[in-house]
Structure 1
Amino acid sequence: MNSNDYLALLDSYGNHFSIPELEIQGPGTLSRMDTGFLRSFLTWRSWHGLPTMISSAWRKGDPKSHGRGLAFDVLLFDRWLSSQPSALQHWLLATTWGFRGVGLYFDWKYTNKEGIRVPAIGLHVDGWSGNDRSRRPLRWLRINGQYYYQSLTSGHFYCKSNKQSITLDEAIRRYGA
């Protein structure tokens, strides 16, 4: 696809993003994105209707979803750069859509309209089947730099490094999101 094809694609999904927003890792990186996943992401953005900031897309050297052009890291806002929806709303919007990987990050920050770095809820969404297909869909939380992966049977999240588990409700209560 060329620039005009991408512009037409963005136009057909409501022009919620510009090419530079999608090429956050640098000019020309949009062509590294999987077109089917990109269409799904754009449809998802149109469906939920929330202002969305992309913080990461295709990444050089990443052997997983970002390096395959099958992932976005985003921040969702109720009001642009001033307030975010709840962590639960982030979770429901991403897991309802059917992304293959969804990560909720309680330890992100962004620069608000006043230029101040503030805590944020980050969201990773991907369409990658992964190296271990039996673990997909994969759901996780990141809390204070620790990753907690969800059990497909119990629904609890478990961290291998600190040997602790947590539920989504506990994480939301505990970290004030």
Structure 2
Amino acid sequence: MNRNDYLALLDCYGNHFSISELEIQGPGTIDRMDIGFLRSFLAWRQWHGLSTMVSSAWRKGDPKSHGHGLAFDILLFDQWLVSQPSALQHWLLANTWGFRGVGLYFDWSYDNKNGKEVPAIGLHVDGWSGNGRSPRPLRWLRIDGHYYYQSLASGHFYCKSNKQSITLDEAIRRYGP
């Protein structure tokens, strides 16, 4: 696809992003995105209607979803750069759409309108089938740098490094806004 094709694609899904917003890792990186996943992501953005900031997309050298052009890391806002929806709303919006991978990050931050670093809830969404080692769909939380992966059987999240578990409700109560 050429630049005009991408502009037409963005227009088709409501013009919620510019090409440069999707090329956060550098000019021309939109060409590295899987076009089917990109369409799905744009349709999802149009569907949920929340202001969305892309913090990561295709990444060179990443052997996982970002390196395959099948992932976005994002921040969602009720009011642009001022307030975010709840962690539960982030979770429900991503899981309702049916992404293959969804991660909720309780340890992110962003620069607000006043140049101040503000704690934030980050969201990873992907369409990657995985590398065969992790079952898909894969759901996880990151809390204070620790990854907690969800059991498909119990729904609880477990961290191998600190050997602790947590439920989504507990994580939201403890760490969510």
TM-score (norm 1): 0.99
Residue 74 to residue 134, structure 1, CA distance change in 2 (3 Å) = closer
List per-residue Cα deviations over 1:50-72 (Å, max 9, x = no partner).
00000000000000000000000
- How big is the alpha-carbon RMSD for the aligned residues of Structure 1 and Structure 2? 0.8
- Give the secondary-structure state (helix, strand or coil) at the position aligned to 2:59: coil
Identity %: 85
2:172 paired residue number: 172
- Give the secondary-structure state (helix, strand or coil) at the position aligned to 2:14: coil
Distance 2:168 2:84 in 1: 18
2:157 paired residue number: 157
Structure 2: 5+ residue stretches without partners: none
Q: 2:23 touches 2:57 (CA, 8 Å); kept in 1?
A: yes
TM-score (norm 2): 0.99
Structure 1 residues 165-174 or 129-138, which shifts more? 129-138
2:45 paired residue number: 45
Distance 1:6 1:59 in 2: 19
Equivalent residues in 2 for 1:47-86 (5 A)?
Answer: 47-86=47-86
2:132 paired residue number: 132
Distance 1:82 1:144 in 2: 23
How many residue pairs match? The answer is 177
1:101 paired residue number: 101
Q: 2:106 touches 2:176 (CA, 8 Å); kept in 1?
A: no
Pairwise CA distance, 1:176: 3.6
Structure 1: 5+ residue stretches without partners: none
Distance 1:149 1:116 in 2: 31
Distance 1:54 1:48 in 2: 15
